[in-house]
Amino acid sequence: MINVSQLTDPAVRAFVTAVNDNDKGAFEEVLAPGATMSDDGSDRDITDWADREIFSSNGHMDVDSEADDGRSLIVEYRNDTWGAMRTKWRFDVTADGRISRFETGQA
């Protein structure tokens, strides 16, 4: 497992920290205006998805590995709704260091 503080990309590190701290404000701050996301290949509304899959269900990311300069992760993700599952995450980061899109799904 990789310690969150050792994740390579600062925006991805802030994203994972916000999820693990259940910090909705920090999560929203790391997202670029108009950010998009998909879950298992289907685009979702970020606000609705994050409320359901992260904040109301105590989502938590344990990072197993990273690639692509820290913008692709393999994660043991768990929440109170689904339990634990191995997932993959890919992030697009803007020049000013905010996440413009992320994609997640089962690994």
* pLDDT at site 81: 93
| Assigned token pair, 28 | 């929203």
Dihedral sign for Cα atoms in the order 57, 33, 35, 17: negative
Per-residue confidence (pLDDT) for residue 63, from 0 to 100: 98
pTM: predicted TM-score of the whole model, two decimal places: 0.96
Determine the pLDDT at residue 11.
98
Is residue 100 within 8 A of residue 33, CB to CB? The reply is no
Residue 21's alpha-carbon distances to 25, 61, 91, 96, in angstroms, are 11, 10, 19, 23
Check residue 60 and give its pLDDT. 98
pLDDT digits (tens, 9 = 90+) for 61-90: 999 999 999 999 999 999 999 999 999 999
Q: Which domains, and CATH codes, for the chain?
A: 4-106 (3.10.450.50)
At 3 the pLDDT is: 96
For the chain, which ranges sit under pLDDT 70? none
